[in-house]
Structure 1
Amino acid sequence: MVKGYWVAHVTVQDPERYERYKAANAAAFKKYGGRFLVRAGQSRSMLGALKDRHVVIEFPSYQAALDCYDSPEYQFAIAERGEAGDIDLAIVEGYDGDQPA
């Protein structure tokens, strides 16, 4: 089964409120098998302008990634976040095909 991913780029505008969002989103990520691959470590933009913080979350499937976003648990986390961050988020299906030799 092909995995699903959340790819987010964030600029935090209210750190205290953003921490509440992070605490609230844990329930949804646990329920749907979300696993952080990237969570706001060091980064360097090589092309274009990006936000300050980058997050990649892996889910067992694309459907699980979609279900997590639509879940009551994550919708609660969104309400907790409010306007605490400027966020771009894409939910993408993983790739399980041929790789460069």
Structure 2
Amino acid sequence: MAAYWISTYVEVTDEEKLAAYAALAGPALEGAGGTFLARGLPEQVYEAGRSTRTVLIEFASVGAAVAAHDGSAYQEALAALGDGAVRDLRIVPGA
């Protein structure tokens, strides 16, 4: 069953660190089998929604998404990000 990696950027504190992270994270996650479905700022928000950067990536399974996160290539990207952003990251199984 597919799984979805959903990350919301609560706060960006360093644009340069975020750019360094993005340069590493995209290839790392795609290399681990992820497919980017959406990324960027929302066009519309409702209820308690916030107009913050959001990324949605599809993986073949929860296990594949967790392995991508825990893999060395993505961990290198996280090290580049450091304290450059506060994020809410979730891995959710498909319905």
Fold match by TM threshold 0.5: yes
Identity of aligned residues (%): 34
In the superposition, the TM-score normalised over structure 2's length comes to 0.88
**RMSD, matched Cα:** 1.5
Secondary structure, aligned partner of 1:33: coil
Secondary structure, aligned partner of 2:37: strand
| C-alpha displacement of 1:49 | 4.4
Tell me if the contact between 1:5 and 1:91 (Cα under 8 Å) persists in the aligned partners: yes
Stretches of structure 1 lacking an aligned partner (at least 5 in a row): 96-101
Q: Does 1:8 align with 2:7?
A: yes
Tell me if the contact between 1:9 and 1:51 (Cα under 8 Å) persists in the aligned partners: no
CA distance in 2 between partners of 1:13 and 1:72 (Å):
24
**Residue pairs, 1:1-101, within 5 angstroms:** 2-10=1-9, 11-50=11-50, 52-95=52-95
Stretches of structure 2 lacking an aligned partner (at least 5 in a row): none
Name the count of aligned residue pairs. 94
In the superposition, the TM-score normalised over structure 1's length comes to 0.83
Larger gyration radius, structure 1 or structure 2? 1
CA distance in 1 between partners of 2:72 and 2:30 (Å):
13
Secondary structure, aligned partner of 1:55: strand
Greater CA drift, 80-89 or 27-36: 27-36
Tell me if the contact between 1:9 and 1:53 (Cα under 8 Å) persists in the aligned partners: yes
